Amino acid sequence: MQGEVQELAIEEFLESTFQRDIVEEISKGKRGGDCVHVVRDQYDNECGRILYESKRTKHFSFDWIAKIKDDMRLQQAELGVIVTEAFPEGMTRFGQHEGIWICSFVEFKALSLLLRNNLIRIGEILAAQENKGDKMHMIYNYVTGNEFKQKLEAAFEAYHDMQEDLVKEKALFTSQWAKREKKLLKAMENLVCLYGDVRGIAGGAVQEIKALEMPEINLLMEE
């Protein structure tokens, strides 16, 4: 069940984020991975295919690498991605192994965006170089090469750093807002107490201040 939930989450994210593209679900029991992301440019031209395989097991199996490569050939996909909780020995985060990208579900969203953008850029370059060899072969050589891997890792590092900064910034502001709220509540509590004391002493000689006698304030103080 957990595996199926992750598969659905991957498909839903791809469909909602890349609405111009096509996300093809592969039926259970059929060969070819879990889903294929067909990347299309602004003119709806197909730029490439990314095959996703979802895994939710405690241990990584290198048999997955061979299987997804077979499935890539079946689906005519240029890129293969295994989304998994368990990494191969020596890997603690996303990376490439034998030409296959391996990442966690948390990393999957950023990786899918980077892979898509690179396929579109490659498609634009190839479109401007008509009749210069087998395009599929050129794309495969590039996306499995070291240059592509280094560029992708550099882009992901920048994304990861910005994401960490955002989390820290949100935590800082949340803490500051909580402190300010406590100070405001304390000031309001003191004001209400002062008003109550004066009314208790002077009675009707002090004009009623409706804002300080609203039931909402009493409820707020109780909280």
Single-letter residue type at 121: R
Cα Rg of the chain (Å, integer): 28
What pLDDT score was predicted for residue 217?
44
What pLDDT score was predicted for residue 144?
66
Q: What string of pLDDT tens digits covers the 223 residues of the chain?
A: 555 788 899 999 999 999 999 999 887 766 666 899 999 988 888 889 999 999 988 899 999 999 999 999 999 999 999 999 899 888 888 888 888 999 999 899 999 998 998 888 887 777 766 555 565 666 666 666 666 777 777 777 777 778 777 888 888 888 788 788 787 777 767 666 765 666 666 655 555 656 555 454 444 445 5
Q: Where are the domains positioned within the chain?
A: 2-144, 170-222
Q: How many residues does this entry show for the chain?
A: 223
What pLDDT score was predicted for residue 56?
85
What pLDDT score was predicted for residue 69?
92
Contact at 8 Å (CB) between 99 and 71?
no
**Pairing of β 46-55 and β 35-40:** antiparallel
Question: 20: which residues sit within 8 A by CB, 6+ positions away?
Answer: 40, 42, 44
What pLDDT score was predicted for residue 202?
60
What pLDDT score was predicted for residue 177?
81
What is Dmax (Cα atoms) for the chain?
96
CA dist 100 and 60 (Å) reads: 14
Contact at 8 Å (CB) between 123 and 91?
no
What pLDDT score was predicted for residue 157?
75
What pLDDT score was predicted for residue 220?
46
CA dist 101 and 79 (Å) reads: 8
Q: In Å, how far from its chain's centre is CA 155?
A: 15
What pLDDT score was predicted for residue 201?
61
